[in-house]
Structure 1
């Protein structure tokens, strides 16, 4: 049984209608010739006097984590003990039993503890400057919009949302509120992945002709990840998005089309709502092909590029929180291991303090959800699905 990503929008807008909207600029966003580059940071509000005063007094920007699941507990909260420009100041949770441990472990004040009902009260809290949405995918849009309405800057975990329409609503809400929006793409701060970008985009070993990108793991009970309403899809929306990102930032351009095939479902009881796995191919304008694979039934972790000079460079593992390793046809890629999440959050804090555009804006998240939708459409129909290259807002490159 085929499993689609969540509908393109809540009104069952056709793909043709979406493309037309994309060319005109959805909602309040109008995209010019420079597309994402021209509007990466939204309205770029000036840092508030309170924010500037905090930094002048040596105080870090405060982050509130919304959702205290595995990623917040195991990665973000520990990373915030290493950040230089921001710190963990607040939490938002629907699980009261978690509150005492978090308060004790991270010295969180009572007034900085919220639940999903009183979430909007963050608006008047000067201890919190950034709200980080770390909820199941299907909740990203609602809470990003609610966060923007508090006047706080927002980081949202990937995938940005479960429909292109919701992505645009999130961008519009942050623009209207005059706050910055960034997507949690941590690998843009990881040295090995940065080197893949440099080698590929600068054609250091020649023009990239083939890319292999694979990411997957053997899922257990799965929880919300196997719930279509909460997840939006299966491994493609979860770890497969790293393959989309890796292929694009290694090649340095958008694909022109995609083809895709679902994996055979071996466990129909577990995978009754979302796909077990997918193979897909992204075709680029010059003939380069990215062969991609994601799965909830296999352990996969590879990003490899091959060039027209018979040289190659790769990362394996490529997308892990730590322990990333790289090699080229010329020798090893030997970079230090870093705390990716700490660098990611410090970069966003720096963008706020110095009124800069984030390199990971909502428009990048929208782009990736658009591609995810195209991949699902290709798998559902068995046909090649075009990525409209006239839509400049989709052309996002590192360094723009």
Structure 2
């Protein structure tokens, strides 16, 4: 009996020892589940500049899971009142261009999305950074690379993120084309074509004022072909050439380009041929050619849906409002340290500005301009 009792006691202890890891594992599992179920941190955003694109971003954010519109910055009091009522924005989160530095004392705002004329981006973004808020700046980030670099440096000094509004970097069909390129399915890349343009209307708008825009079609729409060439080819250009055509010097005054054709050369030997214009409609097309395949996207950068096809068939990933995806992804970048497939940081914006600077120089000199 004694031996049997000892055996049962040992058996019970062994069973308990076996069960202890199971209890620990169950506890860990419960903690993991609790962590997964915990709500992701929400990026609380104030929009600066309540024009047409600011409105588009605000509407798109209504469907965002991780970004919320909580504030506005505008020089037009009537717009502020309209947005307050429409989006339920509290009065203490409303600012104008003179007093928005006070957001440093507002803990309910995490980031400011700067959607104002190009020439204002630098000063406004630096002010936002000095107020301790993350900066999201619409493209082009500035009117030249020097100003863009100053924005990058100011945000680093302030310890805040600087992100540029490259919505196409999160678009599903665009990312599929990039995946095909990276996987080698297209073979050795040879050629990229980018066509970006439309007929611009109202001659009094800020986009046709060089003091506010810093340029014409190139700043507004040509930047898509520049940026697209870079992410579709996966390389940085080493030279540019460019030629300008101007048919209406009254509407397109000095400092405002109407149409520029430009070419870029890449280290691999691939070349890009692009067109940027304010004088022709229906130009929104990318074409990438490789030794084993090709990708064509038309429209390639519009607000969607993006239509694409390849040598293997159509690109048919579902359309989601670009700005909705962009804001959710930017929240993940800011809060989670997520690394996007294609960068959207300030350095990415500066790269585009260096190319634009070189294109303008090539137009002026008529010579090939090398890029460092």
Show the counterpart of 1:168. 149
1:103 to 75, 78, 84: 84
1:189 to 165, 170, 173: 170
Moved more, 292-301 or 202-211: 202-211
Normalized against structure 2, the TM-score is what? 0.86
* Superposed displacement of residue 199, structure 1: 2.1
Show the counterpart of 1:146. 127
Aligned positions of 1:34-183 closer than 5 A = 60-73=42-55, 75-183=56-164
* Superposed displacement of residue 106, structure 1: 0.3
- Counterpart Cα distance in 2 of 1:129 and 1:348: 12
Residues 349-384 of structure 1: CA distance to partner in whole angstroms, max 9, x if unpaired?
112222455631101111110000111111111111
Aligned length: 331
> Compared with structure 1, are the counterparts of its residues 57 and 243 closer, same or farther at alpha carbon in structure 2 (3 Å cutoff)?
closer
Instruction: Determine helix, strand or coil for the equivalent of 1:270.
Output: coil
* Superposed displacement of residue 180, structure 1: 0.7
Show the counterpart of 2:15. none
Q: Alpha carbon RMSD of aligned pairs, Å? A: 1.5
Show the counterpart of 2:206. 224
Aligned positions of 1:186-265 closer than 5 A = 186-222=167-203, 223-263=205-245, 265=246
- Counterpart Cα distance in 2 of 1:305 and 1:355: 31
> Compared with structure 1, are the counterparts of its residues 307 and 59 closer, same or farther at alpha carbon in structure 2 (3 Å cutoff)?
closer
- Counterpart Cα distance in 1 of 2:332 and 2:354: 29
Moved more, 340-349 or 241-250: 340-349
Give yes or no for the alignment of 1:305 onto 2:288.
yes
- Counterpart Cα distance in 1 of 2:337 and 2:289: 39
Larger Rg, first or second structure (1 or 2)? 2
Show the counterpart of 2:28. none
The answer (yes or no) to whether the contact 1:201–1:251 under 8 Å persists in 2 is no
1:380 to 343, 364, 367: 364
Show the counterpart of 2:355. 371
- Counterpart Cα distance in 2 of 1:249 and 1:221: 32
The answer (yes or no) to whether the contact 1:218–1:298 under 8 Å persists in 2 is yes
Q: Gapped runs of 5+ residues in structure 2?
A: 1-36
Normalized against structure 1, the TM-score is what? 0.80
Structure with larger RCO (C-alpha < 8 A, sep 6+):
1
* Superposed displacement of residue 286, structure 1: 2.5
* Superposed displacement of residue 278, structure 1: 0.5
